[in-house]
A and B are shown apart, each in its own frame.
Chain A
């Protein structure tokens, strides 16, 4: 509905960008997400980078999928140099052939990244993680004073009509199904038991955006459910009675990764930017601002922040359930289709 004016504005901006003078070329173009994520990337990485090099950073705001679409459109003559994309989309970008390998020669700090955060294939390293976030058990501390201990608590009768989990329109929807499949020990490749159990769930809503989840928790529409540690602790920081816990089955997690764009017009500066993001200072800053679990060795965070990291107070990157995205992407269409037919209709 408000789509058309938005499109016109976007188109006008695109046109303006296309005919902008070439003198703006010096600035580095970095794709990142909107909202508090973009603010944190700017404060923790872009600002220090600009301070050190004198090169300005122009943000290209969009979700991971939008960024991938942009990269595919401008494959022949890219304008974006560096791109943040989430796990899952990162693999798709590599398959689409829009990424250039990241090397220790260009990015010396790569050697300090956790081995789990360096994503490589036969072509070399195509992505490097800049911080983990997880989808954990989030609850209203006023309604539920005792922290829940299991994902199965969502099916408790007292929480009927007040539960939320992601829908497949959300980037965490399909991965969450894989996670449930794993913790319930369902037979390999068979998601029927997972769907059967979700069908029994009495939800308030299946959220399709992280904002909708935050809104539901804020208005007490949902009092228990799945939410990202980033969103849950953001609500808690605003003084709302929201708790986030890592139940005994663990949590599913993914990461925001940096990518060097193939044929990036400012490749040298782009590598320097990635190098800046992999410093302990940047990683610590992202942990303090977004509660991202550091993907760089030797990062010290305050005890207060440590409790808010994706793996909870006691865990580490080892205890996170990280997905094999190739497997997930292969099954994505099928699971979304089954969800639509089985769950999202009355």
Chain B
């Protein structure tokens, strides 16, 4: 019989090796390239080029602005949806059908879904045809190539993450707590605000962090829906790797985005932590 410790080591080895080979190693290659010159010497020039240039900060601001707006909208729309699924739907198979409807798009490639939005949001697309048909607008509204267009695509693609994580948190809440609150003479609005909302805050925060991280690093959706007229940071990275072939500068861009995102996500995590403690 194998000692439990050996079994544990063996069980841990496979995922650790996998993680090291396919996650840490590529990351190290990128990071290493960002600190070296073509000749292999150590340099911080690529970072200086990024951080000392207002242009890069402008693009970062656009990137984070879109990601923040995406996160806010996903929460705003995802929360009621999760509420509906967990609290309002009584019929079990209908709930199951709804969950499937929410999850299924995740199985489709981003590219296909973004192309779909290109068709829907285009000059002659369904959305503009509808708006013009209802007489709401005379000329087609420009969605493609605007931040609004990117936002629509991103919210659609990332919403399931919020619905699933908030729904999960909502389902775990002991409704006796809300009954107790009502028994003590507190109205439904205040019960929601002081009891229910704080209890599902961890779920909302984890959903928001997922959405934010994915939105900051998203390439396909912004690239297709921006029509090349708005630049987000991931597009700068892609350019360097795909057409300029400057892996040093591209690596430095990647590390910059990664570090800034981690900083923001950590801050958000702190906020979530404080919210949970307050609750």
Judging by beta carbons under 8 Å apart, are B110 and A340 in contact? no
Q: How does the 8 Å CB contact mask read for A301-339 relative to B, with 1 for contact and 0 for none?
A: 000000000000000000000000000000011001000
When the two chains form the complex, which single residue of A212, A215, A346 contacts B229, counting CB atoms closer than 8 Å? A346
Interface residues on A, range: 35 or more
Interface of A is mostly: mixed
Residue interface bits A41-74, CB-to-B below 8 A is 1, else 0: 0000000000000000000000101000000000
A-facing residues in B114-172 (Cβ within 8 Å): 115, 118-119, 122-125, 142, 144-146, 157-158
A236 interface contact, C-beta 8 A: no
Distance between Cα atoms of A37 and B157 in the complex (Å):
30
In the complex formed, the residue of A with least CB distance to B218 is A1
Contact A169 B242 (CB under 8 A): yes
Partner among B119, B123, B158, B236 whose Cβ is within 8 Å of the Cβ of A162:
B123
The residue from B218, B227, B236 contacting A204, defined by CB atoms under 8 A apart = B227
Complex contacts, B221 vs chain A, CB 8 Å: 1
- Asked whether, in the complex, the Cβ of B144 is within 8 Å of the Cβ of A169, the reply is no
Please tell me the number of chain B residues within 8 Å of chain A, measured between CB atoms.
44
B238 at the interface (CB under 8 A from A): yes
A168 to B239, CA, bound (A): 7
Q: How far is the CB of A81 from chain B (nearest CB, A)?
A: 23
Contact of A1 with B110 at beta-carbon distance under 8 Å, contacts A221-B122, A341-B55 already known: yes
Closest to B147 in A: A346
- Asked if A173 and B243 make an inter-chain contact with CB atoms under 8 angstroms apart, the answer reads yes
Determine if A205 is an interface residue (Cβ-Cβ < 8 Å).
Answer: yes
Say yes or no for A207: interface residue by CB 8 A criterion: yes
Distance A8 CA – B23 CA, assembled complex (angstroms)? 9
Query: Residues of A contacting B235 with CB < 8 Å?
Result: 169, 344
Interface centre among A2, A161, A174 (most CB of B within 10 A): A2
User: Can you list 29 residue pairs at the A/B interface with Cβ under 8 Å?
Assistant: A1-B214, A1-B218, A2-B220, A11-B22, A161-B123, A169-B238, A173-B243, A203-B145, A203-B229, A204-B144, A205-B145, A205-B229, A207-B228, A215-B119, A219-B118, A219-B122, A219-B125, A220-B123, A221-B125, A332-B244, A340-B239, A343-B229, A344-B231, A344-B235, A345-B59, A345-B62, A345-B230, A346-B229, A346-B230
- 11 further contact pairs, Cβ within 8 A, besides A7-B22, A161-B123, A211-B115: A1-B221, A2-B110, A2-B220, A169-B238, A203-B228, A204-B144, A219-B118, A219-B124, A220-B122, A341-B55, A345-B62
